[in-house]
């Protein structure tokens, strides 16, 4: 038997149940991982609340690090005992064990710890595609990145600094401003107190930004468009404040022939080759000391609901992990 989190109806954190389940064997092409640490992500909340629909009952979570415990038929690249991590695949990472396709799993270099990997795989690969692929930064740009003290945000601040990019981060408190600055944000705006568009205008001497990375969604959509330079790119990659709806395409014309994209990790790490390339890039910046994965909070697996509540209520900074 093994413990895992399950939910049978959508709703608040109270729908998450810790259950004892039979330990299944991996099917052909799959591996069973004994999780050592599990990553908490905002997307887990979207599934729990029903914003992203899934068949119920369901497990939760897609990010963890652990040790290969059993391999299915035909798996050639992994053997029991391998130290591994993953950031995609079927829901169910919130558990002592998880079974998933072997091609979604990557071996960890000895230099990267289990907790670090669980805290940084999904968020770090996201930053990899945002900064290196969606809008490939060359160095020298001044960009706007919302929620800069969060899990994704603290990695983005550091990676942008390493690329020679001036990242203007937004945050909701002086404490979070300190965290974003400490992680390498070039400037920080408190979007709960300051006029973001005016501050970006000052900071860029009127030029505005070639790209805005927006994971806040509903509350920041209009502001983000107004912070873009002509022909700038709006990268809308999350809905922390709610989804963006009812967009009038003509707005993109009137605000300066803007580009908009709504990317996902699954859309970028869509082949084994691309997944491995992105992992190499992420492990490289960690190993060179350019990016450190900050674990702000640790919870026991049984406290998954509390952990999600803290994330939803903006009480966390850096990454949060669950310990099975
Ligand atoms: N598309 C993708 O591939 C992809 C992959 C990973 C993550 N994401 C998205 O990236 C975002 C960051 O993920 P994360 O797991 O690292 O979370 P996080 O940034 O650690 O936490 C979310 C942050 O969003 C900010 N926020 C602003 N308005 C909010 C509101 N109304 N309610 C809650 N939070 C609000 C808060 O920071 P302040 O208090 O400073 O405002 C909060 O701390 C999420 O939107 C997530 O869905 C997208």
For residue 249, what pLDDT is reported? 95
**Shared-domain flag, residues 181 and 280:** no
**Where does the chain have alpha helices with state H?**
42-49, 114-129, 151-162, 174-182, 196-203, 221-226, 250-254, 265-268, 272-287, 304-312
Q: Is the CB of 219 under 6 A from ligand 1?
A: yes
pLDDT in tens, 96-139: 999 999 999 999 999 999 999 999 999 999 999 999 999 999 99
- Give the CATH number, domain containing residue 219: 3.40.50.720
Overall average pLDDT of the 209-235 stretch = 98
Helix, strand, or coil (residue 22)? coil
Q: Tell me which of 262, 279, 305 is where a domain ends.
A: 262
**Shared-domain flag, residues 249 and 177:** yes
Q: Which of 320, 301, 293 is nearest to 19 (CA)?
A: 301
Q: Is the CB of 54 under 6 A from ligand 1?
A: no
What's the mean pLDDT when you consider all of the chain?
97
Does 126 map to a domain? no
Does 94 map to a domain? yes
Per-residue confidence band for 252, with pLDDT thresholds at 50, 70 and 90: very high
* 266 C-beta neighbours (distance < 10 Å), count: 11
Q: Is the CB of 166 under 6 A from ligand 1?
A: no
How many domains does the chain contain in total? Answer: 2
For residue 258, what pLDDT is reported? 98
Q: How far is the CA of 203 from the centre of ligand 1 (A)?
A: 24
For residue 8, what pLDDT is reported? 97
Alpha carbon nearest to ligand 1 atom 31, residue: 241
Percent of the chain topping pLDDT 90: 100
- CB burial of residue 313 (10 Å; 0-12, 13-18, 19+): exposed
Q: Is the CB of 41 under 6 A from ligand 1?
A: yes
pTM confidence score: 0.98
Give the bridge partners for 37, in sequence order: 65
For residue 304, what pLDDT is reported? 98
**Shared-domain flag, residues 256 and 276:** no
Does 296 map to a domain? yes
Cα 295 to Cα 45, 213, 236, distances in angstroms:
19, 22, 25
Q: Which of 295, 298, 317 is nearest to 306 (CA)?
A: 298
Alpha carbon nearest to ligand 1 atom 18, residue: 150
Per-residue confidence band for 247, with pLDDT thresholds at 50, 70 and 90: very high
Q: Is the CB of 196 under 6 A from ligand 1?
A: no
- Give the CATH number, domain containing residue 301: 3.90.180.10
Does 161 map to a domain? yes
Percent of the chain topping pLDDT 70: 100
Given the CA of residue 240, which atom of ligand 1 is nearest to it?
Answer: 45
Mutate which of 13, 93, 147 for ligand 1 pocket (most atoms within 8 A of beta carbon): 147
Write out the residue range of the structural domain in which residue 50 sits. 2-120+271-323
Q: Is the CB of 104 under 6 A from ligand 1?
A: no
Alpha carbon nearest to ligand 1 atom 19, residue: 150
Overall average pLDDT of the 224-241 stretch = 98
**Shared-domain flag, residues 151 and 239:** yes
Q: How far is the CA of 141 from the centre of ligand 1 (A)?
A: 23
Per-residue confidence band for 222, with pLDDT thresholds at 50, 70 and 90: very high
Q: How far is the CA of 216 from the centre of ligand 1 (A)?
A: 6
- Per the omega criterion (within 30 degrees of 0), is the bond before 141 cis? no
Does 295 map to a domain? yes
Q: Is the CB of 232 under 6 A from ligand 1?
A: no
Q: Tell me which of 214, 238, 262 is where a domain ends.
A: 262
Q: Tell me which of 239, 262, 285 is where a domain ends.
A: 262
**Shared-domain flag, residues 176 and 223:** yes
**Shared-domain flag, residues 209 and 165:** yes
pLDDT in tens, 71-92: 999 999 899 999 999 999 999 9
Overall average pLDDT of the 22-27 stretch = 96
Does 236 map to a domain? yes
């Amino acid at each position: 038997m093994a413990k895992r989190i399950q939910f049978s109806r959508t709703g608040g954190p109270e729908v998450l149940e810790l259950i004892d389940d039979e330990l299944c064997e991996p099917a052909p092409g799959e591996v069973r991982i004994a999780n050592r640490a599990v990553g908490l992500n905002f997307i887990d909340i979207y599934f729990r609340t029903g914003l992203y629909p899934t068949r119920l009952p369901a497990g939760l979570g897609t990010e963890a690090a652990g040790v290969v415990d059993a391999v299915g038929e035909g798996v050639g690249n992994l053997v029991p005992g391998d130290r591994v991590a993953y950031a995609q695949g079927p829901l169910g990472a919130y558990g002592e064990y998880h079974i998933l396709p072997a091609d979604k799993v990557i071996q960890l270099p000895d230099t990267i710890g289990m907790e670090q990997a669980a805290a940084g795989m999904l968020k770090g690969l996201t930053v990899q595609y945002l900064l290196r692929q969606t809008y490939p930064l060359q160095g020298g740009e001044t960009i706007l990145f919302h929620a800069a003290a969060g899990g994704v945000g603290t990695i983005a601040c550091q990676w942008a600094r390493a690329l020679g990019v001036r990242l203007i981060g937004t945050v909701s408190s002086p404490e979070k401003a300190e965290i974003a600055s400490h992680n390498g944000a070039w400037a920080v705006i408190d979007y709960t107190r300051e006029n973001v568009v005016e501050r970006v205008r000052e900071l860029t001497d009127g030029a505005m930004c070639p790209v805005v990375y927006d994971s806040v969604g509903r509350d920041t959509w209009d502001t983000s468009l107004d912070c873009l330079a002509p022909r700038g790119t709006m990268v809308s990659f999350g809905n922390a404040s709610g989804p963006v709806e009812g967009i009038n395409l003509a707005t993109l014309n009137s605000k300066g022939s803007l580009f908009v994209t709504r990317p996902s990790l699954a859309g970028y790490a869509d082949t084994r080759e691309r997944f491995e390339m992105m992992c190499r890039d992420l492990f490289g910046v960690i190993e060179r000391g350019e990016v450190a994965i900050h674990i702000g909070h640790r919870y026991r697996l049984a406290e998954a609901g509390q952990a999600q509540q803290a994330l939803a209520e903006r009480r966390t900074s850096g990454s949060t992990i669950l310990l099975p």
